[in-house]
Amino acid sequence: MAERESDSYFATPEQMRRYKIAAVVRTVLTYGFLAVLGLFILIPFLFMLITSFRDPDAYNYDNLHSIFNLIPGAWNEGAQRANYTLANYVAIFTYKSSTGRTINFAHYYLNTLYVAIVGVIFTLITTVLASFAFARCEFKGKNALFTLLLATMMIPGEMMVITNFQTVQAFNWQNTFAALIFVHGVSVFYIFYLRQTFQGIPNELFLAAKVDGYGHFRYLLKVMIPIGMPTIVTITILSIMGQWNAYIWPNLVASGDNPILSQWMGKDWSMLLVSNGLMSLFTNSETGVSQDTVRIAGSVIVTAPLFVFFLIFRKYIMRGVSRSGIKG
């Protein structure tokens, strides 16, 4: 009887064979699903990149005949016209509007870069200080105030547009960098996210630092920020992505010329960013010819820096997510 019970703990060769077959099938199905999902994500980017180098006439020919080609001109009679060209990228920086004004896309890049850098710095300052206060400082009504802040996350951002716009008008910030930087410089989600990381740092470190004579700001700079750096880098990446891709708010409050810079520079200084600047291009084409290839080239120019930045710092996102869920 004892031998029969002990034998039941070992799988038979037939059971082992079935287990191996099932494991192989699960692996094939899993990787097959991920491969198909990856293609659905990759193909639009591949199409965008290829189309940005296409000859406009060949692209318009394919559109007219409802032809979808990832290899331009390979299977249609317009193949002789479907050569690759850099003219689309040149047109982005040399296009002239119907009024004769040259649209300098590099100018939009400079605006966006300035807003992204200054805006991220301001957001990090407010996020780090508020997160530290809610995680380590003790003051009356702390929990109630933090609960109130979390409750504001339930309000859709679109409902605050009118209030924020009225604030910008009251401060006379229209068509200025201040409206693009300071209005959305505080994020409740980032504060909550970083607070979770700070609370995961043992409180004994804070007490030991106070014994050694560390003040709050010195402890924040020397201990908490280095330990929470993965989360801070993650917030930086997400904030840059938000600043870079912003469209509705910049289009609402910064679609004209900056009055101060225009007077100081002696020429019109447009406040358009790359997102709404790209959409403003070629909206009034006098030739009637489609400018889709040039628009797509502009999309590649807008997307490329953000994509490279994300590839370089993507590991910090995973570190920040894993650290924010660890306590003690």
Are 140 and 267 contained in the same domain?
yes
Residue 42 pLDDT greater than 80, yes or no: yes
Chain position carrying tokens 């401060």: 171
Which is higher by pLDDT, 125 or 287? 125
Phi, psi of 172 (to 5 degrees): 55, 45
Note whether 49 and 159 are same-domain residues.
no
* pLDDT at residue 1 greater than cutoff 70: no
| Range of the structural domain that residue 242 is part of | 94-324
pLDDT band of 47, cuts 50, 70, 90: confident
Same domain, 81 and 118: no
Radius of gyration for the chain, computed over Cα atoms and rounded to the nearest angstrom: 28
Q: Provide the token pair at 149.
A: 């802040």
112 lies in the same domain as 139: yes
Q: Judge if 180 and 278 occupy the same domain.
A: yes
- Each residue's pLDDT tens digit, 127-179: 999 999 998 888 888 889 999 988 888 888 778 888 888 989 889 888 889 99
In this structure, the answer to whether residues 166 and 199 fall within a common structural domain is yes
Q: What DSSP string describes 60-110?
A: HHHHHTT---SSTTSSSTTGGG--B-SHHHHHHHH-B-TTS-B--HHHHHH
Of the chain, the percentage scoring pLDDT greater than 90 comes to 12
Q: Which two tokens stand for residue 210?
A: 């106070």
pTM for this entry: 0.76
Residues 137 and 244 in one domain: yes
> Residue 268 is part of a domain; what is its CATH number?
1.10.3720.10
